[in-house]
Amino acid sequence: MFGAPEYEVDITDSVISDIRVVRGASCAASWEAAKRVIGTPVDDGARKMGIESQFFCSANPAGWDPIYGKSPVHFAGKVHAKAIADAVDRALEKTSGNEDSKG
């Protein structure tokens, strides 16, 4: 239940219509951000998930990594954005050829 974020999404008319958190951050950012991404066009889902997850992330934003030059909050945003992009890709693959676009 907790760990690197993983999502499953439903897509209707090129919009993210539902998100299920398969695995998420223990701070609950994955679940809270997902609520705000429902209704977002699929092309904007990753960007919005990255931003929204940072709002709910409880990591110390002052803890900059000297190698990557990013804070843990930025890292969380990137990880969540990638997870939702992967979920969207899986949903689109599953529904390719289906005009309903409901995954």
Query: Is residue 14 assigned to a domain?
Result: yes
Query: Is residue 99 assigned to a domain?
Result: no
Q: Dihedrals φ, ψ of 38, to 5°? A: -60, 130
Query: Is residue 60 assigned to a domain?
Result: yes
pLDDT digits (tens, 9 = 90+) for 2-12: 888 999 999 99
pLDDT digits (tens, 9 = 90+) for 25-43: 988 999 999 999 999 999 9
- Residue 98 CA to residue 92 CA, distance in Å, equals 9
Tally of domains in the chain: 1
Query: Is residue 27 assigned to a domain?
Result: yes
pTM of the shown model: 0.84
Query: Is residue 1 assigned to a domain?
Result: no
Host domain of residue 20: 6-91
Query: Is residue 103 assigned to a domain?
Result: no
Banded pLDDT at 65 (limits 50, 70, 90): confident
Query: Is residue 23 assigned to a domain?
Result: yes
11 Cβ contact list (under 8 Å, min separation 6): 17, 42, 88, 91, 92, 95, 101, 102, 103
Question: CATH number of the domain that 44 lies in?
Answer: 3.90.1010
Portion of the chain with pLDDT greater than 70, in percent: 93
